[in-house]
Structure 1
Protein backbone atom coordinates (compact mmCIF):
# COMPACT_ATOMS: atom_id res chain seq x y z
CA UNK A 1 0.00 0.00 0.00
CA UNK A 2 1.37 3.39 -0.98
CA UNK A 3 0.79 5.83 1.88
CA UNK A 4 0.35 9.08 -0.05
CA UNK A 5 -3.13 10.40 0.71
CA UNK A 6 -3.92 7.62 3.19
CA UNK A 7 -5.39 8.36 6.61
CA UNK A 8 -4.03 6.62 9.70
CA UNK A 9 -5.16 6.49 13.32
CA UNK A 10 -2.48 5.79 15.93
CA UNK A 11 -3.30 5.24 19.60
CA UNK A 12 -0.74 6.06 22.29
CA UNK A 13 1.03 8.29 19.77
CA UNK A 14 2.57 10.98 21.97
CA UNK A 15 5.58 8.99 23.19
CA UNK A 16 7.80 6.01 22.48
CA UNK A 17 6.71 3.51 19.86
CA UNK A 18 3.52 5.41 19.03
CA UNK A 19 5.40 8.60 18.32
CA UNK A 20 7.91 6.76 16.14
CA UNK A 21 5.08 5.10 14.21
CA UNK A 22 3.41 8.46 13.65
CA UNK A 23 6.64 10.02 12.42
CA UNK A 24 7.40 7.27 9.92
CA UNK A 25 3.86 7.21 8.54
CA UNK A 26 3.87 10.98 8.06
CA UNK A 27 7.32 10.82 6.48
CA UNK A 28 5.94 8.37 3.94
CA UNK A 29 2.95 10.50 3.02
CA UNK A 30 0.15 9.47 5.36
CA UNK A 31 -2.14 11.82 7.28
CA UNK A 32 -2.17 10.72 10.90
CA UNK A 33 -4.77 11.22 13.60
CA UNK A 34 -2.61 10.82 16.70
CA UNK A 35 -5.33 10.02 19.20
CA UNK A 36 -9.05 10.01 19.77
CA UNK A 37 -9.31 13.02 21.98
CA UNK A 38 -8.14 16.52 22.75
CA UNK A 39 -6.12 15.27 25.71
CA UNK A 40 -2.51 16.42 25.71
CA UNK A 41 -0.77 13.23 26.82
CA UNK A 42 -1.03 9.48 26.35
CA UNK A 43 -1.37 9.11 30.12
CA UNK A 44 -4.59 11.10 29.99
CA UNK A 45 -5.69 9.03 27.00
CA UNK A 46 -5.02 5.90 29.02
CA UNK A 47 -7.09 7.25 31.88
CA UNK A 48 -10.00 7.49 29.46
CA UNK A 49 -9.53 3.78 28.70
CA UNK A 50 -9.43 2.88 32.37
CA UNK A 51 -12.87 4.38 32.89
CA UNK A 52 -14.24 1.54 30.79
CA UNK A 53 -14.15 -1.20 33.40
CA UNK A 54 -16.47 -3.78 34.89
CA UNK A 55 -17.01 -1.76 38.03
CA UNK A 56 -17.97 1.35 36.02
CA UNK A 57 -20.51 -0.03 33.58
CA UNK A 58 -22.46 3.22 33.63
CA UNK A 59 -19.43 4.94 32.05
CA UNK A 60 -18.84 2.35 29.35
CA UNK A 61 -21.44 3.52 26.87
CA UNK A 62 -20.30 7.12 27.24
CA UNK A 63 -16.69 6.28 26.39
CA UNK A 64 -17.66 4.07 23.44
CA UNK A 65 -19.85 6.82 22.05
CA UNK A 66 -16.96 9.24 22.51
CA UNK A 67 -14.66 7.01 20.49
CA UNK A 68 -17.33 6.53 17.84
CA UNK A 69 -17.73 10.28 17.48
CA UNK A 70 -13.96 10.82 17.30
CA UNK A 71 -13.55 8.19 14.60
CA UNK A 72 -16.48 9.61 12.67
CA UNK A 73 -14.91 13.04 12.80
CA UNK A 74 -11.62 11.63 11.53
CA UNK A 75 -13.36 9.82 8.67
CA UNK A 76 -15.39 12.91 7.76
CA UNK A 77 -12.36 15.19 7.89
CA UNK A 78 -10.05 13.01 5.82
CA UNK A 79 -12.58 11.14 3.70
CA UNK A 80 -12.12 7.78 5.37
CA UNK A 81 -9.72 5.69 7.47
CA UNK A 82 -7.16 3.44 5.82
CA UNK A 83 -4.71 2.48 8.57
CA UNK A 84 -5.12 1.85 12.29
CA UNK A 85 -2.23 1.22 14.66
CA UNK A 86 -3.44 -0.07 18.01
CA UNK A 87 -0.39 0.83 20.03
CA UNK A 88 -1.50 2.18 23.43
CA UNK A 89 -0.39 -0.08 26.25
CA UNK A 90 0.99 -0.32 29.78
CA UNK A 91 2.75 -2.84 32.01
CA UNK A 92 1.54 -2.83 35.59
CA UNK A 93 1.20 -6.14 37.42
CA UNK A 94 0.04 -4.30 40.52
CA UNK A 95 -2.97 -3.02 38.59
CA UNK A 96 -3.53 -5.98 36.33
CA UNK A 97 -7.18 -5.15 35.58
CA UNK A 98 -6.05 -1.78 34.22
CA UNK A 99 -3.43 -3.57 32.14
CA UNK A 100 -6.04 -5.91 30.67
CA UNK A 101 -8.43 -3.04 29.97
CA UNK A 102 -5.90 -0.97 28.05
CA UNK A 103 -3.76 -3.63 26.38
CA UNK A 104 -6.42 -6.07 25.25
CA UNK A 105 -9.90 -4.60 25.62
CA UNK A 106 -8.68 -1.35 24.09
CA UNK A 107 -7.38 -3.15 21.00
CA UNK A 108 -10.61 -5.08 20.54
CA UNK A 109 -12.77 -2.04 21.18
CA UNK A 110 -10.98 0.21 18.70
CA UNK A 111 -10.85 -2.53 16.06
CA UNK A 112 -14.58 -3.17 16.22
CA UNK A 113 -15.31 0.53 16.05
CA UNK A 114 -13.12 1.13 13.00
CA UNK A 115 -14.68 -1.79 11.11
CA UNK A 116 -17.61 0.50 10.40
CA UNK A 117 -15.30 2.89 8.56
CA UNK A 118 -12.89 0.45 6.87
CA UNK A 119 -15.01 -2.58 6.06
CA UNK A 120 -15.68 -2.75 2.31
CA UNK A 121 -19.02 -4.41 3.02
CA UNK A 122 -20.19 -1.21 4.71
CA UNK A 123 -18.75 1.21 2.18
CA UNK A 124 -15.22 1.45 3.51
CA UNK A 125 -12.05 1.32 1.43
CA UNK A 126 -10.45 -1.57 3.27
CA UNK A 127 -6.97 -1.06 4.66
CA UNK A 128 -4.61 -2.33 7.32
CA UNK A 129 -4.77 -2.71 11.10
CA UNK A 130 -1.45 -3.23 12.88
CA UNK A 131 -1.54 -4.14 16.55
CA UNK A 132 1.41 -3.72 18.89
CA UNK A 133 1.84 -7.07 20.63
CA UNK A 134 5.13 -8.16 22.22
CA UNK A 135 7.59 -11.00 22.42
CA UNK A 136 5.76 -11.55 25.73
CA UNK A 137 2.76 -12.52 23.60
CA UNK A 138 4.67 -15.37 21.98
CA UNK A 139 5.97 -17.11 25.08
CA UNK A 140 5.67 -17.03 28.88
CA UNK A 141 7.08 -14.09 30.82
CA UNK A 142 7.44 -15.09 34.45
CA UNK A 143 7.91 -11.52 35.71
CA UNK A 144 4.66 -10.12 34.28
CA UNK A 145 1.97 -12.79 33.76
CA UNK A 146 -0.93 -10.36 33.28
CA UNK A 147 0.96 -8.28 30.72
CA UNK A 148 2.02 -11.47 28.93
CA UNK A 149 -1.59 -12.68 28.90
CA UNK A 150 -2.80 -9.45 27.31
CA UNK A 151 -0.20 -9.67 24.57
CA UNK A 152 -1.05 -13.33 23.93
CA UNK A 153 -4.60 -12.09 23.59
CA UNK A 154 -3.57 -9.45 21.05
CA UNK A 155 -1.79 -12.13 19.01
CA UNK A 156 -4.82 -14.42 19.07
CA UNK A 157 -7.19 -11.58 18.24
CA UNK A 158 -5.02 -10.41 15.33
CA UNK A 159 -4.76 -13.88 13.82
CA UNK A 160 -8.48 -14.49 14.19
CA UNK A 161 -9.45 -11.13 12.68
CA UNK A 162 -7.14 -11.76 9.71
CA UNK A 163 -8.97 -14.99 8.92
CA UNK A 164 -12.39 -13.46 9.56
CA UNK A 165 -11.57 -10.64 7.15
CA UNK A 166 -10.54 -13.05 4.39
CA UNK A 167 -13.65 -15.20 4.70
CA UNK A 168 -15.97 -12.20 5.09
CA UNK A 169 -14.36 -10.06 2.34
CA UNK A 170 -13.79 -7.09 4.64
CA UNK A 171 -10.80 -5.99 2.58
CA UNK A 172 -8.78 -5.32 5.75
CA UNK A 173 -5.41 -6.85 6.57
CA UNK A 174 -4.61 -7.52 10.23
CA UNK A 175 -0.99 -7.81 11.36
CA UNK A 176 1.00 -7.40 14.56
CA UNK A 177 4.47 -6.32 15.55
CA UNK A 178 6.03 -8.17 18.48
CA UNK A 179 8.92 -6.13 19.93
CA UNK A 180 11.45 -7.21 22.49
CA UNK A 181 12.71 -4.70 25.03
CA UNK A 182 12.19 -1.23 23.58
CA UNK A 183 13.81 1.94 24.93
CA UNK A 184 10.62 3.51 26.27
CA UNK A 185 9.25 4.62 29.63
CA UNK A 186 7.39 1.31 29.83
CA UNK A 187 10.65 -0.63 29.76
CA UNK A 188 12.51 1.67 32.13
CA UNK A 189 9.67 1.48 34.67
CA UNK A 190 9.27 -2.31 34.64
CA UNK A 191 11.06 -2.84 37.99
CA UNK A 192 8.57 -0.49 39.66
CA UNK A 193 5.50 -2.13 38.13
CA UNK A 194 5.95 -5.83 38.81
CA UNK A 195 3.54 -5.86 41.77
CA UNK A 196 3.53 -9.20 43.55
CA UNK A 197 6.34 -10.33 41.25
CA UNK A 198 8.72 -7.56 42.34
CA UNK A 199 11.01 -10.21 43.85
CA UNK A 200 11.78 -11.22 40.25
CA UNK A 201 13.12 -7.80 39.27
CA UNK A 202 16.70 -9.10 39.11
CA UNK A 203 15.60 -11.74 36.61
CA UNK A 204 13.97 -9.04 34.50
CA UNK A 205 17.21 -7.05 34.58
CA UNK A 206 19.19 -10.10 33.48
CA UNK A 207 16.78 -10.65 30.58
CA UNK A 208 17.22 -7.07 29.39
CA UNK A 209 21.01 -7.33 29.62
CA UNK A 210 21.03 -10.66 27.76
CA UNK A 211 18.60 -9.70 24.98
CA UNK A 212 19.57 -6.08 24.59
CA UNK A 213 17.24 -3.21 23.73
CA UNK A 214 15.98 -1.59 20.56
CA UNK A 215 15.06 1.97 19.65
CA UNK A 216 11.38 2.75 18.97
CA UNK A 217 12.26 3.72 15.40
CA UNK A 218 13.20 0.09 14.69
CA UNK A 219 9.72 -1.01 15.73
CA UNK A 220 8.21 1.75 13.60
CA UNK A 221 10.09 0.47 10.57
CA UNK A 222 8.54 -2.95 11.15
CA UNK A 223 5.08 -1.39 11.38
CA UNK A 224 5.70 0.41 8.10
CA UNK A 225 6.59 -2.92 6.49
CA UNK A 226 3.40 -4.52 7.79
CA UNK A 227 1.35 -1.58 6.50
CA UNK A 228 2.86 -1.25 3.04
CA UNK A 229 3.38 -4.92 2.08
CA UNK A 230 -0.01 -5.99 0.74
CA UNK A 231 0.98 -9.66 0.94
CA UNK A 232 0.93 -9.49 4.73
CA UNK A 233 -2.23 -10.61 6.55
CA UNK A 234 -2.20 -12.42 9.87
CA UNK A 235 1.55 -11.88 10.00
CA UNK A 236 3.46 -11.28 13.22
CA UNK A 237 6.86 -9.65 13.00
CA UNK A 238 9.17 -10.33 15.96
CA UNK A 239 11.90 -7.73 16.42
CA UNK A 240 14.57 -7.72 19.09
CA UNK A 241 18.18 -6.55 19.26
CA UNK A 242 17.79 -5.08 15.78
CA UNK A 243 17.02 -8.49 14.31
CA UNK A 244 13.60 -9.33 12.94
CA UNK A 245 11.81 -12.49 11.84
CA UNK A 246 8.27 -13.50 11.01
CA UNK A 247 6.64 -15.87 13.47
CA UNK A 248 5.54 -19.33 12.28
CA UNK A 249 2.53 -20.66 14.18
CA UNK A 250 1.53 -24.33 14.38
CA UNK A 251 -1.52 -25.43 12.41
CA UNK A 252 -4.51 -25.86 14.70
CA UNK A 253 -7.49 -26.29 12.38
Structure 2
Protein backbone atom coordinates (compact mmCIF):
# COMPACT_ATOMS: atom_id res chain seq x y z
CA UNK A 1 0.00 0.00 0.00
CA UNK A 2 1.29 3.42 -0.96
CA UNK A 3 1.94 5.65 2.04
CA UNK A 4 3.07 9.23 1.58
CA UNK A 5 4.52 11.28 4.41
CA UNK A 6 5.23 14.93 5.23
CA UNK A 7 5.41 17.43 3.59
CA UNK A 8 2.44 15.72 2.00
CA UNK A 9 -1.11 16.22 3.21
CA UNK A 10 -1.67 14.08 6.33
CA UNK A 11 -5.05 12.32 6.27
CA UNK A 12 -5.49 11.80 9.99
CA UNK A 13 -8.58 13.82 10.93
CA UNK A 14 -9.55 14.44 7.30
CA UNK A 15 -13.08 13.71 6.10
CA UNK A 16 -13.42 12.14 2.64
CA UNK A 17 -16.49 11.57 0.49
CA UNK A 18 -16.29 8.96 -2.27
CA UNK A 19 -19.05 8.48 -4.86
CA UNK A 20 -19.64 5.11 -6.50
CA UNK A 21 -17.92 3.68 -3.44
CA UNK A 22 -19.73 0.37 -2.97
CA UNK A 23 -17.73 -1.66 -5.49
CA UNK A 24 -14.79 -1.51 -7.86
CA UNK A 25 -12.51 1.51 -7.99
CA UNK A 26 -14.65 3.47 -5.54
CA UNK A 27 -14.47 0.76 -2.90
CA UNK A 28 -10.70 0.53 -3.37
CA UNK A 29 -10.38 4.31 -2.99
CA UNK A 30 -12.44 4.26 0.20
CA UNK A 31 -10.39 1.43 1.69
CA UNK A 32 -7.11 3.11 0.74
CA UNK A 33 -8.13 6.40 2.35
CA UNK A 34 -9.17 4.52 5.50
CA UNK A 35 -5.84 2.70 5.57
CA UNK A 36 -4.17 6.11 5.54
CA UNK A 37 -6.20 7.36 8.53
CA UNK A 38 -8.98 9.34 6.81
CA UNK A 39 -12.62 9.11 7.81
CA UNK A 40 -14.67 8.09 4.78
CA UNK A 41 -18.29 8.55 3.74
CA UNK A 42 -19.23 6.12 0.98
CA UNK A 43 -21.97 7.18 -1.45
CA UNK A 44 -23.64 4.77 -3.87
CA UNK A 45 -27.00 3.52 -5.13
CA UNK A 46 -26.06 -0.06 -4.24
CA UNK A 47 -27.31 -0.24 -0.64
CA UNK A 48 -26.39 -3.85 0.02
CA UNK A 49 -22.82 -3.60 -1.24
CA UNK A 50 -22.21 -0.23 0.39
CA UNK A 51 -23.45 -1.36 3.79
CA UNK A 52 -21.39 -4.55 3.50
CA UNK A 53 -18.21 -2.54 2.87
CA UNK A 54 -18.87 -0.26 5.85
CA UNK A 55 -19.64 -3.25 8.09
CA UNK A 56 -16.35 -4.82 7.05
CA UNK A 57 -14.15 -1.73 7.49
CA UNK A 58 -15.83 -0.84 10.78
CA UNK A 59 -14.44 -4.05 12.29
CA UNK A 60 -10.94 -2.85 11.44
CA UNK A 61 -11.10 0.91 11.90
CA UNK A 62 -13.99 1.52 14.30
CA UNK A 63 -17.58 2.74 14.02
CA UNK A 64 -16.65 6.42 13.76
CA UNK A 65 -14.43 6.01 10.68
CA UNK A 66 -16.87 5.05 7.90
CA UNK A 67 -20.46 5.79 6.95
CA UNK A 68 -22.58 4.63 4.00
CA UNK A 69 -25.23 6.92 2.53
CA UNK A 70 -27.44 6.05 -0.42
CA UNK A 71 -26.94 8.71 -3.07
CA UNK A 72 -27.64 8.92 -6.79
CA UNK A 73 -25.26 11.44 -8.36
CA UNK A 74 -27.94 12.26 -10.93
CA UNK A 75 -29.89 13.96 -8.13
CA UNK A 76 -28.61 17.29 -6.84
CA UNK A 77 -31.02 16.98 -3.92
CA UNK A 78 -29.53 13.64 -2.88
CA UNK A 79 -25.98 14.97 -3.24
CA UNK A 80 -26.81 18.00 -1.11
CA UNK A 81 -28.45 15.82 1.53
CA UNK A 82 -25.52 13.39 1.65
CA UNK A 83 -22.93 16.14 1.91
CA UNK A 84 -24.92 17.95 4.60
CA UNK A 85 -25.23 14.67 6.54
CA UNK A 86 -21.45 14.28 6.24
CA UNK A 87 -20.86 17.77 7.63
CA UNK A 88 -23.41 17.29 10.41
CA UNK A 89 -21.84 13.97 11.41
CA UNK A 90 -18.13 14.67 11.05
CA UNK A 91 -17.84 18.46 11.03
CA UNK A 92 -16.74 19.14 7.47
CA UNK A 93 -15.44 17.81 4.16
CA UNK A 94 -11.76 17.83 3.16
CA UNK A 95 -11.62 15.36 0.28
CA UNK A 96 -14.05 14.49 -2.51
CA UNK A 97 -13.50 11.65 -4.95
CA UNK A 98 -16.02 11.92 -7.79
CA UNK A 99 -15.79 8.32 -8.92
CA UNK A 100 -19.34 7.19 -9.83
CA UNK A 101 -19.55 6.23 -13.49
CA UNK A 102 -21.21 3.97 -16.01
CA UNK A 103 -20.55 2.75 -19.54
CA UNK A 104 -23.70 2.36 -21.63
CA UNK A 105 -23.77 3.69 -25.18
CA UNK A 106 -27.45 2.76 -25.52
CA UNK A 107 -28.45 4.92 -22.55
CA UNK A 108 -26.23 7.77 -23.63
CA UNK A 109 -28.12 10.55 -21.86
CA UNK A 110 -27.83 8.68 -18.55
CA UNK A 111 -24.13 8.15 -19.25
CA UNK A 112 -23.66 11.91 -19.63
CA UNK A 113 -25.74 12.57 -16.51
CA UNK A 114 -23.76 10.18 -14.31
CA UNK A 115 -20.25 10.51 -15.73
CA UNK A 116 -20.06 14.23 -16.40
CA UNK A 117 -22.96 16.03 -14.79
CA UNK A 118 -22.50 13.95 -11.64
CA UNK A 119 -18.92 15.21 -11.37
CA UNK A 120 -20.04 18.82 -11.84
CA UNK A 121 -22.89 18.44 -9.34
CA UNK A 122 -20.65 16.81 -6.76
CA UNK A 123 -17.88 19.37 -7.13
CA UNK A 124 -20.16 22.38 -6.90
CA UNK A 125 -22.00 21.09 -3.84
CA UNK A 126 -18.70 20.15 -2.19
CA UNK A 127 -17.36 23.65 -2.83
CA UNK A 128 -20.20 25.06 -0.76
CA UNK A 129 -18.66 23.24 2.22
CA UNK A 130 -14.94 23.30 1.31
CA UNK A 131 -14.40 26.81 -0.11
CA UNK A 132 -12.18 28.84 2.22
CA UNK A 133 -13.91 32.04 1.11
CA UNK A 134 -17.19 30.81 2.60
CA UNK A 135 -15.89 29.27 5.81
CA UNK A 136 -14.62 25.94 4.52
CA UNK A 137 -11.26 24.36 5.31
CA UNK A 138 -10.17 23.93 1.72
CA UNK A 139 -9.14 20.51 0.49
CA UNK A 140 -8.92 18.47 -2.68
CA UNK A 141 -11.20 16.97 -5.32
CA UNK A 142 -10.05 13.99 -7.39
CA UNK A 143 -12.18 13.02 -10.38
CA UNK A 144 -12.13 9.60 -12.01
CA UNK A 145 -11.79 10.11 -15.75
CA UNK A 146 -10.31 7.51 -18.10
CA UNK A 147 -7.84 6.98 -20.91
CA UNK A 148 -10.95 7.72 -22.98
CA UNK A 149 -10.61 11.24 -21.58
CA UNK A 150 -7.30 11.62 -23.43
CA UNK A 151 -8.06 9.85 -26.69
CA UNK A 152 -11.00 8.19 -28.42
CA UNK A 153 -12.33 4.79 -27.38
CA UNK A 154 -13.71 3.84 -30.77
CA UNK A 155 -16.58 1.70 -29.49
CA UNK A 156 -17.75 4.29 -26.94
CA UNK A 157 -18.18 7.80 -28.39
CA UNK A 158 -20.43 9.08 -25.60
CA UNK A 159 -18.33 7.54 -22.83
CA UNK A 160 -15.31 9.15 -24.52
CA UNK A 161 -17.06 12.51 -24.59
CA UNK A 162 -17.98 12.34 -20.91
CA UNK A 163 -14.45 11.51 -19.84
CA UNK A 164 -12.97 14.27 -22.01
CA UNK A 165 -15.46 16.52 -20.24
CA UNK A 166 -14.28 15.36 -16.83
CA UNK A 167 -10.66 16.14 -17.75
CA UNK A 168 -11.56 19.58 -19.08
CA UNK A 169 -13.79 20.44 -16.14
CA UNK A 170 -11.12 19.33 -13.67
CA UNK A 171 -8.42 21.48 -15.24
CA UNK A 172 -10.65 24.54 -15.55
CA UNK A 173 -11.98 24.13 -12.01
CA UNK A 174 -8.45 23.83 -10.66
CA UNK A 175 -7.44 27.06 -12.38
CA UNK A 176 -10.60 28.86 -11.22
CA UNK A 177 -10.02 27.74 -7.64
CA UNK A 178 -6.40 28.85 -7.66
CA UNK A 179 -7.18 32.28 -9.10
CA UNK A 180 -10.17 32.77 -6.80
CA UNK A 181 -8.46 31.61 -3.61
CA UNK A 182 -10.91 28.81 -2.82
CA UNK A 183 -8.16 26.65 -1.32
CA UNK A 184 -9.47 23.57 -3.10
CA UNK A 185 -7.23 21.59 -5.42
CA UNK A 186 -8.75 19.59 -8.33
CA UNK A 187 -7.06 16.67 -10.09
CA UNK A 188 -8.05 13.75 -12.29
CA UNK A 189 -6.96 10.19 -12.93
CA UNK A 190 -7.07 8.58 -16.36
CA UNK A 191 -6.68 4.83 -15.93
CA UNK A 192 -6.60 2.42 -18.85
CA UNK A 193 -8.87 -0.63 -18.68
CA UNK A 194 -9.50 -1.71 -15.08
CA UNK A 195 -10.77 -5.10 -13.92
CA UNK A 196 -14.25 -4.00 -12.79
CA UNK A 197 -17.89 -4.66 -13.62
CA UNK A 198 -17.70 -1.71 -16.04
CA UNK A 199 -15.95 -3.84 -18.64
CA UNK A 200 -17.68 -7.11 -17.82
CA UNK A 201 -19.91 -8.11 -20.75
CA UNK A 202 -18.88 -4.90 -22.46
CA UNK A 203 -20.44 -5.89 -25.81
CA UNK A 204 -23.93 -5.56 -24.32
CA UNK A 205 -23.15 -1.98 -23.32
CA UNK A 206 -21.94 -0.72 -26.69
CA UNK A 207 -25.35 -0.20 -28.32
CA UNK A 208 -25.05 0.64 -32.01
CA UNK A 209 -21.28 0.15 -31.77
CA UNK A 210 -21.43 -3.46 -30.55
CA UNK A 211 -19.83 -4.54 -33.83
CA UNK A 212 -16.63 -2.91 -32.52
CA UNK A 213 -16.47 -5.22 -29.52
CA UNK A 214 -13.54 -7.19 -30.93
CA UNK A 215 -11.46 -4.02 -31.32
CA UNK A 216 -12.12 -3.09 -27.70
CA UNK A 217 -11.23 -6.56 -26.45
CA UNK A 218 -8.05 -6.50 -28.52
CA UNK A 219 -7.05 -3.24 -26.85
CA UNK A 220 -7.56 -4.85 -23.44
CA UNK A 221 -5.42 -7.82 -24.41
CA UNK A 222 -2.66 -5.55 -25.73
CA UNK A 223 -2.52 -3.26 -22.71
CA UNK A 224 -3.51 -5.57 -19.86
CA UNK A 225 -5.93 -4.80 -17.04
CA UNK A 226 -5.20 -2.61 -14.04
CA UNK A 227 -6.31 -3.66 -10.58
CA UNK A 228 -8.56 -1.36 -8.58
CA UNK A 229 -5.81 -1.08 -5.95
CA UNK A 230 -3.36 0.29 -8.52
CA UNK A 231 -5.87 2.98 -9.42
CA UNK A 232 -6.64 3.79 -5.79
CA UNK A 233 -2.95 4.31 -5.03
CA UNK A 234 -2.80 6.95 -7.78
CA UNK A 235 -5.84 8.69 -6.28
CA UNK A 236 -4.05 8.72 -2.93
CA UNK A 237 -1.04 10.35 -4.58
CA UNK A 238 -3.19 13.16 -5.98
CA UNK A 239 -4.97 13.60 -2.66
CA UNK A 240 -1.84 13.83 -0.55
CA UNK A 241 0.58 15.70 -2.80
CA UNK A 242 -0.30 19.33 -2.15
CA UNK A 243 1.71 20.49 -5.18
CA UNK A 244 -0.82 18.84 -7.48
CA UNK A 245 -3.62 21.06 -8.81
CA UNK A 246 -5.06 20.73 -12.30
CA UNK A 247 -2.96 17.61 -12.78
CA UNK A 248 -4.10 14.65 -14.86
CA UNK A 249 -2.45 11.32 -14.08
CA UNK A 250 -2.49 8.65 -16.78
CA UNK A 251 -2.33 5.13 -15.36
CA UNK A 252 -1.17 2.20 -17.50
CA UNK A 253 -0.25 -1.34 -16.56
CA UNK A 254 3.30 -0.43 -17.51
CA UNK A 255 3.37 2.60 -15.23
CA UNK A 256 1.92 6.09 -14.83
CA UNK A 257 2.72 9.59 -15.96
CA UNK A 258 1.38 13.11 -15.67
CA UNK A 259 -0.04 14.51 -18.88
CA UNK A 260 1.42 17.69 -20.38
CA UNK A 261 -1.16 19.79 -22.21
CA UNK A 262 -0.54 22.64 -24.68
CA UNK A 263 -0.38 26.04 -23.02
CA UNK A 264 -3.39 28.32 -23.48
CA UNK A 265 -1.35 31.44 -22.69
TM-score by length of 2: 0.87
Would the alpha carbon gap of residues 37 and 122 (structure 1) be closer, same or farther in structure 2, given more than 3 Å must change?
A: farther
Equivalent in the alignment of 1:251: 263
2:22 matched to which residue of 1?
14
Q: Is the counterpart of residue 136 in structure 1 residue 148 in structure 2?
A: yes
In structure 2, the partner of 1:60 is none
Report if the CA contact (8 A) 2:22-2:44 is conserved.
no
CA–CA distance in 1 between the matches of 2:109 and 2:253? 30
Q: What are the superposed Cα offsets for residues 142-165 of structure 1, whole Å, 9 maximum, x if unpaired?
A: 110000000000000000000000
CA contact (8 A) 2:249 2:257 kept: yes
The Cα of 1:115 is off from its aligned counterpart by 0.5
Deviations 1:101-128 (A, max 9, x none): 0000000001100111000000000000
CA distance 1:37–1:114, change in 2 (3 Å): farther
Deviation at 1:41, TM superposition (A): 4.7
Distance (Å, rounded) in 2 between the aligned partners of 1:154 and 1:37: 21
- CA displacement, residues 171-221 of structure 1 (integer Å, 9 cap, x when unaligned): 000000100000001012322211000000110111001111110000000
Q: Which residue of 2 aligns with 1:156?
A: 168
Where does structure 2 lack aligned partners over 5 or more consecutive residues? 1-8, 51-68
1:32 maps to 40
What is the deviation of 1:170?
0.2
Maintained 8 Å contact 1:218/1:242? no
CA contact (8 A) 2:20 2:44 kept: no
Q: How does 1:129-208 map to 2 (within 5 A)?
A: 129-208=141-220
Provide the C-alpha distance between the structure 1 equivalents of 2:46 and 2:217, rounded to a whole number of angstroms.
Answer: 37
How many residues align? The count is: 239
**In the alignment, which of 31, 35, 39 is matched to residue 23 of structure 1?**
31
Residues 36 and 71 in structure 1, CA contact (< 8 A), matched pair in contact too: no
Closer, same or farther in 2 for the Cα pair 1:38/1:203, shift >3 Å?
A: closer
Higher helix share: 1
Give me the whole-angstrom Cα distance separating, in 1, the residues matched to 2:84 and 2:254. 37
Relative to structure 1, the CA distance from residue 248 to residue 8 in structure 2 (aligned partners, 3 Å threshold; closer, same or farther) is same
The CA deviation at 1:40 is 3.4
**CA deviation profile, 1:77-104 (whole Å, cap 9, x unmatched):** 1110000000000000011111000000
Q: Which residue is 1:103 aligned to?
A: 115
Which residues of structure 1 form unaligned runs of 5+? Answer: 53-62
SS in 1 for 2:43: coil
**Secondary structure of residue in 2 paired with 1:34:** strand
How much does 1:238 deviate?
0.4
